[in-house]
Amino acid sequence: MGVFVFLPLVLPLTAWPVARLAEHHLHPRMATWLLTGASAVLAVCSTLSLALLMVVGTAQLPGNPLPDGWSDPEVREAVPYDEVAGRIAIPALILVLASCARAAWRHRRVRRRAGRALEGLPATSVVVLPDASPYAYALPGRKSRARVLATSRARVLTKARGRVRGNVRARVRGKVRVATGRATGGARDRVVVTTAMLATLTGPERRALFAHERAHLTARHHRFLLAVQLAARANPFLRPLRTAVTYTTERWADEEAATSVGSRRIVARAVGKAALISRGAPSVTLAGFAVVGPVPRRVAALLGPAPAARSWPSLFTGAGLAAWGAAAGTAASALSSANSAVTLFVILKAATPL
């Protein structure tokens, strides 16, 4: 195992070049998948590395509940500088787990609060709130519950059609629709926008806003954002990738909106207007219409030609070289973590009495 156990902690540095180049030279959809996948793998590998170091460090503590064989010289020799690295890894791993748990809890809390704020409103895909603060964001629903309720609704309607006729059938259908709409009010994907935001935009710009937010919901961008948020909490070296994914998801939605509206200039104008007055989404893991930081770059990209949807960049380009470098670093991190885990498992199994 040797020094390889430390590599996953620093290999996220190999993904830094691709974080910047992917924003400008790759299609936003591909850049989002590439950066999120690399972030997730690198974060898991670095956390596993800390766990392996913690096992060795814990085995050295007096009075630990682990088998005595886990503190044998053979185990300690498997990890260089075990006395220092092992003890540092214990609070570091606790901090990582606590930070990730807090981020996931906050994401869930924000979604639940946003859902409760919309209770009692019509179960429509777009919710307009009478608010003087201009903002718009995509609120993902709970797909599994929505599918179950939709199936139940179809069954009830089928039974109702078979039992009633004429006006009675219409009444039953109306009641079922009202009941189902109330039940699924917090379960479906919804676009939340305020009257202040709509008052700022023209008709075509409003269509661009709605198309942008629906693109966030269709592609489930909140999952990408949550994944990179957790990865950055697990390893601070992954923060540039989190920033890059925040930008590429917005660019992805911008391109989908431009295709839907049929005008890149209208989407650019809507993004620029919204950025001047908007206060964004309620959480970094929920996609908002105007994230203040990358707005100038988004507008500049929309005023230029549409990006080419290339499957994988060529190795003979800057973006391709960075992408292949990030892929190699990610693969090396995964192999290093696997090698360290298997080696330590074999050693601990041999050192542990039956």
Q: What is the reported pLDDT for 224?
A: 93
Q: Where are the beta strands (DSSP E) in 125-189?
A: 126-129, 136-139
The dihedral region occupied by 275, where left means phi > 0, alpha psi between -120 and 50, and beta the remainder, is alpha
Same domain? For 93 and 159 the reply is no
The dihedral region occupied by 117, where left means phi > 0, alpha psi between -120 and 50, and beta the remainder, is alpha
Higher-pLDDT residue of 333 and 161 is 333
Same domain? For 170 and 282 the reply is no
Among the candidates 153, 173, 188, a domain finishes at 188
Residue 167: which domain range? 142-188
Same domain? For 117 and 93 the reply is yes
Distance from C-alpha of 199 to C-alpha of 211, rounded to nearest angstrom: 17
CA distances from 62 to 58, 65, 66, 161 (A): 9, 9, 10, 74
Q: Average model confidence (pLDDT) for the chain?
A: 74
From the list 353, 232, 251, the residue with the least C-alpha distance to 294 is: 251
Q: What is the reported pLDDT for 156?
A: 41
Tens of pLDDT, residues 57-93: 666 666 665 666 666 666 666 555 556 777 788 888 8
Same domain? For 219 and 305 the reply is yes
The encoded tokens of residue 80 equal 């260089």
> By CB neighbour count within 10 A (0-12 exposed, 13-18 middle, 19+ buried), where does 47 fall?
buried
Please report, rounded to a whole number, the percentage of residues in the chain having pLDDT higher than 90.
16
**101 pLDDT more than 90:** yes
Same domain? For 19 and 73 the reply is yes
Same domain? For 33 and 44 the reply is yes
Those residues with Cβ within 8 angstroms of residue 92's Cβ, 6 or more apart along the chain or in another chain: 50
Q: How many domains does the chain have?
A: 2
Distance from C-alpha of 86 to C-alpha of 88, rounded to nearest angstrom: 6
Same domain? For 294 and 255 the reply is yes
Same domain? For 146 and 201 the reply is no
Q: Give the rounded distance of the alpha carbon of 239 from its chain centre.
A: 13
> By CB neighbour count within 10 A (0-12 exposed, 13-18 middle, 19+ buried), where does 278 fall?
buried
Same domain? For 112 and 183 the reply is no
Those residues with Cβ within 8 angstroms of residue 192's Cβ, 6 or more apart along the chain or in another chain: 114, 118, 127, 129, 136, 137, 138, 139
- Whether the CA torsion 246, 252, 302, 206 is positive or negative: it is negative
Among the candidates 154, 188, 222, a domain finishes at 188
**126 pLDDT more than 50:** yes
Same domain? For 53 and 180 the reply is no
Q: What is the reported pLDDT for 257?
A: 92
Distance from C-alpha of 100 to C-alpha of 231, rounded to nearest angstrom: 8
Q: What is the reported pLDDT for 320?
A: 66
Higher-pLDDT residue of 69 and 278 is 278
**142 pLDDT more than 60:** yes
Q: What is the reported pLDDT for 207?
A: 93
The encoded tokens of residue 274 equal 């919204």
Same domain? For 57 and 34 the reply is yes
Side by side, the strands of the sheet bearing 126-129 are 126-129, 190-194, 136-139
Same domain? For 153 and 39 the reply is no
Those residues with Cβ within 8 angstroms of residue 207's Cβ, 6 or more apart along the chain or in another chain: 260, 261
Those residues with Cβ within 8 angstroms of residue 343's Cβ, 6 or more apart along the chain or in another chain: 1, 78
- Whether the CA torsion 55, 56, 58, 62 is positive or negative: it is positive
Q: What is the reported pLDDT for 289?
A: 67
Among the candidates 173, 188, 203, a domain finishes at 188
Is the Cβ–Cβ distance between 7 and 336 less than 8 Å? yes
